[in-house]
Amino acid sequence: MKINIISNRRNELLKRNEIIFSVIHERAPTPSRIEVRRELARILRVDVERVYVRKVESVTGASMTMGEAHVYDSEEHAKQIEPEHIIMRNSPQTKEK
């Protein structure tokens, strides 16, 4: 999996960077949000708790996925602004017994 950052725009009002990226994943299935989130955090050298992947869409007929993510200045600020369903999608799922 190789991530290319296409656009990195600063939103000063919401204290975040809005990132558009592409993921090349030849001979592999579309990566999960959690994997993309970890890799973006590593590339941007930020804590994974500040990164929220908003959208991930596979490109038909290609081994490529386009996506959108927000990287906040602080974890607390992110939890105040991001909708609950986005926070849940970016959390590792645990199986209930």
Whether the full predicted model's pTM is greater than 0.95, yes or no, is no
Spans of all domains in the chain: 2-89
Q: Is residue 24 within 8 Å of 1, Cβ to Cβ?
A: yes
Over residues 5-10, the mean pLDDT reads 95
Is 34's pLDDT higher than 80?
A: yes
Nearest to residue 28, comparing CAs of 62, 5, 66? Answer: 62
Alpha helical stretches, state H, the chain: 33-44, 75-81, 84-89
Q: Which amino acid is at 47?
A: D
Topology of the domain covering 2-89: Alpha-Beta Plaits (3.30.70)
Residue with tokens 């490109």: 59
Q: Tell me what pLDDT residue 95 has.
A: 52
Rounded distance between C-alpha atoms, residue 94 and residue 97, angstroms: 10
Least confident of 4-8, 27-31, 93-97: 93-97
Q: Which amino acid is at 39?
A: E
